[in-house]
């Protein structure tokens, strides 16, 4: 199914490993060393103008679509010019969104303010004989998530989405997929999704989760080590999360400033991050829910990436696409460890790839895995 459309920050050079923690035990025996919560995250000059482009994860060639741009504060940003290929540019309106016609291509790459995002381009709408919609089994209460079907409207505001009756904001749209933000009033837990457009109405089920950082006291002093916690509200399932250190000059993550973790599951569903205080000051970190792997989407992104290079680099990428094609064709017998090996190989390629379309495609493929 569709990959999460959010702009992806590539993983560090370390091989990602999922780690479980028995969080209830950590709290009971007092192994946590507390850090004071930040008054406000500090922004460096280099990221004050950073934006995140949100595309529908799949669009249809020659058909209209709507994209959105989020500022560094996570809010929809107006008056941002986005390049969408073929020399065409659009500027976000007061709602932080912009409509455009999808150029003919295999993959759409959108660029703005030094950031980029990719979406898969389908030549035609997929067949949907049962007229069903797809939604993720787990979705975040504070990040865009994807709903896909085949009869949505390209104008975002003409698609009306509710979660347990609460209206949600559709920020990006195509006839095939919507990117949706939950209302702040929605409570984590099981949720019914209802979608209504002039073309029809549909329902689906999901579970909404919130990732909550925990900052016990007293604060760490410079040179001290301890653990930070990320708690899951809304689900007792073990979940894959991506945690990024946003202030490495103040706080160091002992296993890299970008980590993939697996939460513990259960009533005390959480993950712990080993940290060390470098100096006094405000600190912040970001925890995001990782989507389920979409190996077919990753393969399509890599197919386009292979066309941009030659020689050994092209062989390396085609090696990955071949393995992914085999996995897609033989899904019942797939070995999770094989996928981890593919992730490691893709991380190696990403580690020496400079900014540009090639890196955008490789990062989109990595996000899909």
Hey, which residues does 70 pair with through a beta bridge?
A: 52, 76
CATH says 52-209 is which class?
mainly beta
| Inter-residue contact 83 to 109 (CB < 8 Å) | no
Q: Which string of b and e fits 319-334 if b means at least 16 CB within 10 Å?
A: ebbebbeebeeeeeee
pLDDT in tens, 56-82: 999 999 999 999 999 988 899 999 999
The pLDDT score that the predictor gives to residue 275 is: 92
> CB 201: neighbour CB atoms within 10 A?
10
| Inter-residue contact 280 to 274 (CB < 8 Å) | no
Token pair belonging to 4? 């999460």
Q: What is the mean pLDDT of the chain?
A: 85
Q: With 60 as the cut, is the pLDDT of residue 216 above it?
A: no
* CA of residue 345 relative to chain centroid, distance: 20
- Which CATH fold topology does 23-41+210-289 show? Immunoglobulin-like (2.60.40)
Contacts of 343 (CB under 8 A, 6+ apart): 16, 366, 369
Q: Where are the domains of the chain?
A: 23-41+210-289, 52-209, 295-368
The pLDDT score that the predictor gives to residue 28 is: 25
Helix (H, G, I), strand (E, B) or coil at 296: helix
The pLDDT score that the predictor gives to residue 3 is: 34
Q: With 70 as the cut, is the pLDDT of residue 263 above it?
A: yes
**Distance of alpha carbon 335 from alpha carbon 72, whole angstroms:** 38
**How many angstroms separate the Cα of 105 from the Cα of each of 77, 108, 109, 182?**
27, 7, 10, 31
The pLDDT score that the predictor gives to residue 281 is: 86
* CA of residue 366 relative to chain centroid, distance: 11
Q: With 50 as the cut, is the pLDDT of residue 95 above it?
A: yes
Residues in the chain: 369
More confident residue, 336 or 115: 115
pLDDT in tens, 7-47: 333 332 233 334 444 454 333 222 222 222 333 232 333 33
Contacts of 46 (CB under 8 A, 6+ apart): none
Tell me the pLDDT band of 5, cut-offs 50, 70 and 90.
very low
Q: Please name the helix (run of DSSP H) or strand (run of DSSP E) that holds residue 347, with its range, or none.
A: helix 336-351
The pLDDT score that the predictor gives to residue 332 is: 57
The pLDDT score that the predictor gives to residue 334 is: 64
**Distance of alpha carbon 354 from alpha carbon 257, whole angstroms:** 20
Question: Which one-letter DSSP state was computed for residue 106?
Answer: S
Helix (H, G, I), strand (E, B) or coil at 144: coil
Tell me whether the CATH fold assigned to 23-41+210-289 matches the one assigned to 52-209: yes
Token pair belonging to 47? 């990221």
Question: Residue 157: what are its φ and ψ, rounded to 5°?
Answer: -70, -10
Q: With 90 as the cut, is the pLDDT of residue 326 above it?
A: no
The pLDDT score that the predictor gives to residue 98 is: 98
Parallel, antiparallel, or unpaired for β 52-54 and 64-70?
Answer: antiparallel
The pLDDT score that the predictor gives to residue 6 is: 29
**Model pTM score:** 0.83
Q: Give the residue-averaged pLDDT of 88-106.
A: 96
Q: With 80 as the cut, is the pLDDT of residue 257 above it?
A: yes
Question: The sheet that has 89-91: what strands, in order across it?
Answer: 58-60, 115-122, 107-112, 81-83, 89-91
Token pair belonging to 199? 């073309």
pLDDT in tens, 149-189: 999 999 999 999 999 999 999 999 999 999 999 999 999 99
Q: With 80 as the cut, is the pLDDT of residue 129 above it?
A: yes
Question: Residue 273: what are its φ and ψ, rounded to 5°?
Answer: -120, 125
The pLDDT score that the predictor gives to residue 333 is: 55
Q: What percent of the chain has pLDDT over 70?
A: 84
The pLDDT score that the predictor gives to residue 284 is: 85
| Inter-residue contact 160 to 168 (CB < 8 Å) | no
The pLDDT score that the predictor gives to residue 13 is: 28
Report long-range pairs for 48-52 (Cβ below 8 Å, ≥24 apart).
48/72, 49/113, 49/114, 50/113, 50/114, 50/115, 51/77, 51/80, 51/112, 51/113, 51/115, 52/6, 52/7, 52/115, 52/117
| Distance between start and end Cα atoms, the chain | 12
> CB 103: neighbour CB atoms within 10 A?
15
pLDDT in tens, 336-348: 668 888 988 998 9
> CB 182: neighbour CB atoms within 10 A?
25
The pLDDT score that the predictor gives to residue 72 is: 85
pLDDT in tens, 280-315: 888 888 899 998 889 999 999 999 999 999 999 999
Tell me the pLDDT band of 87, cut-offs 50, 70 and 90.
confident
Q: Give the residue-averaged pLDDT of 235-241.
A: 96
């Amino acid at each position: 199914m569709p990959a999460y459309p959010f702009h992806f920050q590539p993983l560090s050079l370390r091989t990602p490993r999922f780690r479980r923690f028995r969080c209830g035990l950590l709290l009971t025996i007092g192994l946590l060393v507390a850090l004071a919560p930040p008054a406000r995250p500090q922004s460096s000059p280099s990221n004050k103008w950073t934006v995140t482009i949100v595309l529908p994860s799949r669009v249809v060639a020659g058909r209209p679509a709507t994209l959105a741009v989020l500022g560094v504060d996570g809010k929809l940003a107006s008056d941002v010019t986005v390049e969408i290929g073929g020399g065409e540019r659009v500027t976000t309106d007061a709602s932080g969104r912009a409509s455009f016609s999808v150029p003919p291509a295999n993959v759409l790459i959108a660029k703005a303010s030094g950031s980029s995002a990719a979406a898969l381009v389908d030549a035609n709408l997929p067949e949907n004989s049962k007229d069903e919609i797809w939604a993720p089994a787990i979705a975040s209460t504070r990040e865009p998530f994807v709903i896909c079907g085949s009869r949505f409207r390209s104008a975002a505001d003409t698609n009306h989405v509710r979660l347990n009756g609460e209206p949600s904001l559709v920020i990006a749209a195509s006839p095939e997929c919507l990117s949706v933000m939950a209302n702040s009033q929605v409570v984590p837990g099981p949720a019914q999704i209802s979608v209504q457009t002039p073309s029809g109405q549909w329902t689906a089920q999901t579970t909404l989760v919130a990732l909550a950082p925990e900052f016990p006291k007293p604060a760490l002093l410079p040179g001290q080590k301890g653990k930070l916690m990320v708690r899951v509200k809304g689900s007792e399932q073990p979940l894959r999360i991506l945690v990024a250190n946003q202030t490495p000059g103040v706080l160091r993550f002992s296993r890299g400033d970008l980590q993939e973790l697996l939460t513990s599951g259960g009533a005390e569903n959480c993950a712990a991050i080993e940290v060390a205080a470098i100096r006094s000051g405000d600190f912040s970190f970001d925890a995001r829910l990782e989507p389920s792997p979409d190996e077919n989407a990753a393969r399509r992104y890599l197919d386009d990436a292979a066309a941009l290079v030659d020689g050994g680099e092209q062989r390396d990428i085609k090696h990955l696409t071949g393995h992914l094609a085999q996995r897609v064709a033989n899904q019942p017998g797939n070995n999770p460890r094989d996928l981890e090996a593919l992730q490691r190989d893709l991380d190696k390629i990403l580690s020496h790839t400079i900014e540009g379309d090639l890196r955008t495609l490789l990062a989109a493929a990595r996000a899909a895995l």
